[in-house]
Amino acid sequence: DAGVTQSPTHLIKTRGQQVTLRCSPKSGHDTVSWYQQALGQGPQFIFQYYEEEERQRGNFPDRFSGHQFPNYSSELNVNALLLGDSALYLCASSPVLGTEAFFGQGTRLTVV
């Protein structure tokens, strides 16, 4: 059983560009959440998708957007990248909204 998978694993982008990160949830999971982890910090909640709709959102600007597809996979899009967007982006999936979460290996984004 494949766990949560994310792609790509590493990414370097230039300030002002746009980026798309991808996540496939664990088999049988229909809820996907995204987190941003800055160096030396704990992960911070960006948003959560369930039934292809954004259900909750953390304190992140509109430059951060997402999507969930009918197969429950998800994308995180970040527009107009800033240097401060450099971080590890983690995707988590859950079998039911509000239950145990399982995380992917993350995508390390560097903005130069």
Partner 1 sequence: GIQVEQSPPDLILQEGANSTLRCNFSDSVNNLQWFHQNPWGQLINLFYIPSGTKQNGRLSATTVATERYSLLYISSSQTTDSGVYFCAVGGNQFYFGTGTSLTVIP
**What residues make contact with partner 1 under the rule CB under 8 A?**
33, 35, 37, 40-45, 48, 55-56, 58, 88, 90, 92, 97-106, 108
Looking at the Cβ atoms of 13 and 108, the one nearer to partner 1 is 108
- Look at residue 84 and give its three-state secondary structure: helix
Least Cβ distance, residue 16 to partner 1 (angstroms): 26
DSSP β-ladder status, 74-78 and 107-111: unpaired
User: C-beta of 47: minimal distance to partner 1 in Å?
Assistant: 9
What distance in Å separates the CA atoms of residue 61 and residue 104, rounded to the nearest whole number? Answer: 23
Nearer to partner 1 (CB atom), residue 16 or residue 27: 27
